[in-house]
Structure 1
Amino acid sequence: MTEHHPPSEPSVPPEASEDSAPPSGRFRALLPDLTPWHASPDFRRMWLAGLVTVFGSFLTFIAVPLQLKELTGSALAVGAVGAVELVPLIVFGLYGGALADAMDRRKLILWTEAGLGVLSGILLLNTLLPHPLVWPLYVVAALVSALTGLQRPALQAIVPRIVAHEQLPAAIALNSMRWQVGAIAGPSLAGVIIAFAGLPWAYVLDIVTYAVSLALTVGLAASPASHDADKPSLRGVLEGARYAWRRKELLGTYAVDMAAMFFAMPTAIFPFLADDLDAPWALGLMYAAGAVGSLVVSLTSGWVSSIHRHGRMVVLAAAGWGLAMALAGWMHNIWLVLVFLAVAGGCDMVSGLFRSAIWDQTIPDELRGRLAGIELLSYSVGPQLGQVRSGGMATLTNVRTSVWAGGLACVASVGLLALTLPKLMAYDERTDEHAVRMRDARAKVAAAA
Structure 2
Amino acid sequence: MARFLLDIAPVRDIPAFRRLWIGSTLSMLGSQFTVIAISLEVFELTGSTFAVGMVGFFALVPLIIAGLYGGSIGDATDRRSAGLWTTFGLFIMTVALAAHAWLDIASVAVLYGIVALHSFAQGLNQPVRGAIVPRLVPMRQLPAANALFQLTMGSCLMVGPLLGALTVAGLGFRWAYTVDVLSFAVSLWAMYKLPPLPPIPGEDGATSKAGFRSVVEGFRFLATRPNLRMTFLLDLAAMIFAMPRALFPVLGASVLGGDQFTVGLLTAALAAGSVLAGVFSGTFIRINHHGRGCAAAVAAWAVCIMAFGAVILVASGGWGRDTAWPLVMSCLMLVAAGVMDSVSMLFRTTILQAATPDSLRGRLQGIFIVVVAGGPRLGDAAMGTGGQWLGPGFAALVGAVICFLLVLLLMRMFPGFMRYDARDPQP
Q: 1:322 to 1:203 in 2, by over 3 A?
A: farther
For residue 311 of structure 1, what is the amino acid of its counterpart? G
Alpha-carbon offset, residue 367 of structure 1: 1.2
Partner of 2:232: 254
Q: 1:305 to 1:393 in 2, by over 3 A?
A: closer
Distance 1:395 1:141 in 2: 30
Alignment match of 2:353 (pick from 354, 360, 363): 360
Q: 1:181 to 1:97 in 2, by over 3 A?
A: same
Contact 2:23 2:187 (C-alpha < 8 Å) held by counterparts: yes
Distance 1:38 1:97 in 2: 29
Partner of 2:212: 234
Q: 1:58 to 1:284 in 2, by over 3 A?
A: farther
Alpha-carbon offset, residue 112 of structure 1: 2.3
Alpha-carbon offset, residue 96 of structure 1: 0.7
Deviation readout 1:334-357 (Å, 9 max, x if unpaired) = 333332222121110110111122
Q: 1:205 to 1:325 in 2, by over 3 A?
A: farther
Distance 2:301 2:194 in 1: 36
Alpha-carbon offset, residue 41 of structure 1: 0.8
Contact 1:255 1:378 (C-alpha < 8 Å) held by counterparts: no
Is 1:105 the counterpart of 2:79 in the alignment?
Answer: yes
Alpha-carbon offset, residue 409 of structure 1: 4.0
Is 1:28 the counterpart of 2:6 in the alignment?
Answer: no
Distance 1:272 1:124 in 2: 33
Partner of 2:287: 307
Distance 1:140 1:267 in 2: 26
Contact 2:94 2:177 (C-alpha < 8 Å) held by counterparts: yes
Partner of 2:242: 264
Distance 1:260 1:191 in 2: 30
Alpha-carbon offset, residue 366 of structure 1: 1.1
User: Scaled by the length of structure 1, what TM-score is found?
Assistant: 0.80
For residue 59 of structure 2, what is the amino acid of its counterpart? E
Alpha-carbon offset, residue 293 of structure 1: 1.0
Is 1:420 the counterpart of 2:413 in the alignment?
Answer: yes
For residue 223 of structure 1, what is the amino acid of its counterpart? L
Is 1:324 the counterpart of 2:304 in the alignment?
Answer: yes
Alignment of 1:197-216 (within 5 A): 197-216=171-190
Alpha-carbon offset, residue 256 of structure 1: 1.0
Partner of 1:281: 261
Alpha-carbon offset, residue 314 of structure 1: 1.5
Alpha-carbon offset, residue 30 of structure 1: 0.9
Alignment of 1:48-447 (within 5 A): 48-68=22-42, 78-124=52-98, 132-226=106-200, 228-267=206-245, 270=248, 273-276=251-254, 277-328=257-308, 330=312, 332=323, 333-391=326-384, 405-433=398-426
Partner of 2:320: none
Alpha-carbon offset, residue 308 of structure 1: 2.3
Distance 1:82 1:390 in 2: 17
Alpha-carbon offset, residue 267 of structure 1: 4.0
Report the more deviating stretch, 392-401 or 109-118: 392-401
Distance 1:319 1:124 in 2: 43
Distance 2:169 2:15 in 1: 39
For residue 367 of structure 2, what is the amino acid of its counterpart? I
Q: 1:364 to 1:431 in 2, by over 3 A?
A: closer
For residue 216 of structure 2, what is the amino acid of its counterpart? L
Contact 1:83 1:385 (C-alpha < 8 Å) held by counterparts: no
Alpha-carbon offset, residue 423 of structure 1: 2.6
Report the more deviating stretch, 336-345 or 45-54: 336-345
Q: 1:46 to 1:429 in 2, by over 3 A?
A: same
Distance 1:393 1:80 in 2: 21
Contact 1:328 1:337 (C-alpha < 8 Å) held by counterparts: yes
Q: Give SS of 2:284's match.
A: helix
For structure 1, which runs of at least 5 residues remain unmatched after alignment?
1-26, 435-449
Distance 1:327 1:396 in 2: 20
Q: 1:352 to 1:334 in 2, by over 3 A?
A: same
User: Scaled by the length of structure 2, what TM-score is found?
Assistant: 0.84
Distance 2:397 2:105 in 1: 37
Alpha-carbon offset, residue 102 of structure 1: 0.9
Tell me the number of residue pairs that the alignment of Structure 1 and Structure 2 aligns: 408
Report the more deviating stretch, 375-384 or 252-261: 375-384
Q: 1:345 to 1:61 in 2, by over 3 A?
A: farther
Contact 2:151 2:274 (C-alpha < 8 Å) held by counterparts: yes
Alpha-carbon offset, residue 149 of structure 1: 1.6
For residue 279 of structure 2, what is the amino acid of its counterpart? L
For residue 85 of structure 1, what is the amino acid of its counterpart? A
Partner of 1:445: none
For residue 286 of structure 2, what is the amino acid of its counterpart? S
Alpha-carbon offset, residue 95 of structure 1: 0.9
Alpha-carbon offset, residue 402 of structure 1: 5.6
Q: Give SS of 1:59's match.
A: helix
Distance 1:390 1:128 in 2: 39
Identity of aligned residues (%): 38
Distance 2:51 2:235 in 1: 25
Contact 2:17 2:136 (C-alpha < 8 Å) held by counterparts: yes
Contact 2:227 2:426 (C-alpha < 8 Å) held by counterparts: no
Deviation readout 1:119-159 (Å, 9 max, x if unpaired) = 33444455678794444444344333322221111111111
| C-alpha RMSD of the superposition | 3.0
Partner of 2:20: 46
For residue 210 of structure 2, what is the amino acid of its counterpart? P
Q: 1:394 to 1:96 in 2, by over 3 A?
A: same
